[in-house]
Amino acid sequence: MRTSILIASSITVFSLLTLASLALGPAGVKSPLDYIDGLAGVELYRLLRTSASIVVGASLAVSGASLQQALRNPLVDPYLLGISTGASLAVALSLLLGLAGPLGIGSAALAGGLAAFLLVLATARLAGMTGSGLIIVGVAYSYLFGSLTTLLVLSFPDKLTGALYWIFGSVSYVDRGILATAAGGLALATLYLAASSKALEALSLGEEAARGLGIGVERLRAGVATASLVAVAASVALAGPVGFIGLTAPWIARLLGAARFQHILVASAPMGAGLALASDILARTLASPAELPLTPIASLIGVPILVYAAVERWRGVEAL
């Protein structure tokens, strides 16, 4: 009963934030009813921007929740693992080489995220690091990839126009083709992760217990990692590397009472979308008519959650 209320509440808040995103902006307040009579100009732009925020937030949330469960580490986040920044570096390289378009950008984001994830895992394994050590390696590579992306953008401003703002996370510029591709990637990833949720739940009992139930743990983790990377690639292609939503949404679900992974996954999607919508609303209104990037705003919520999660893990509290 409590879980049902949590999911219903998260969907309600998400719906209200969606209406607010459609209505608020520097051009003045619009009624959501204006969208019924045909879309043009500001209304169309806000609809695309709101849709992009939803896809970005939900993608990061479901990937974060799934990676935390698969790796049995509640501190895991696509941004902290370097996946998002690795994907953004690959996108910047693809744009520099002239490989634009939804397919080119999406493929580059997926390849970059995969390469970054494998590099982080390989480094941590060679060093014998697990748990929090994996996060340390991921953060180090995240800074490296982010720095390289910034250097590329500053070195080739004529070819990477507007990308400097994008590398801090932004849905200011939404390409319809990339939005459609990203939404499709999110749908496929979510379907796979939902279908794998019972097997992932069994991992809470430990690897040996899961194997005893007939679950191929390594194959499951590989599948979950692939689906999560698809979701992260969808987010990066749309908005660049947005931090902390993948960490924050699952943790809010846990703090509000969700215990089983299936419930965390279902609650995380609208929570992540709501966090992205709230961040974007603040991004376009706090310093209007100027705009702020998404990551600094999302971090105001995400950093306290990260600190809390780290303290709880240090104390030996089982978070999953």
Q: Where on the phi/psi map is residue 39: left (φ > 0), alpha (ψ -120 to 50), or beta?
A: beta
Give the pLDDT confidence score for residue 318 in this predicted structure. 47
Spell out the alpha helix ranges (H) of 26-82.
41-71
Q: pTM value?
A: 0.85
Assign 33 a pLDDT band (cuts: 50, 70, 90).
very low
Q: Is the pLDDT of residue 264 over 80?
A: yes
Which residue range is the domain that position 247 belongs to?
A: 1-318
CATH number at residue 170: 1.10.3470.10
Give the pLDDT confidence score for residue 110 in this predicted structure. 86
Per DSSP, 32 falls in state G
Report the pLDDT averaged over residues 17-25.
Answer: 81
% of the chain with per-residue pLDDT over 70: 87
Q: Is the pLDDT of residue 91 over 70?
A: yes
Give the pLDDT confidence score for residue 32 in this predicted structure. 46
Q: Is the pLDDT of residue 113 over 80?
A: yes
Q: Is the pLDDT of residue 48 over 50?
A: yes
User: Bigger pLDDT: 41 or 57?
Assistant: 57
The whole-angstrom separation of Cα 54 and Cα 198 is 26
- Amino acid 182 reads A
Q: Is the pLDDT of residue 95 over 60?
A: yes
Give the pLDDT confidence score for residue 194 in this predicted structure. 92
Give the pLDDT confidence score for residue 314 in this predicted structure. 64
Quick: pLDDT tens for 152-200.
Answer: 888 887 777 666 667 778 888 888 888 998 899 999 999 999 999 888 8
Give the pLDDT confidence score for residue 162 in this predicted structure. 62
The whole-angstrom separation of Cα 242 and Cα 52 is 12
Q: How many domains does the chain have?
A: 1
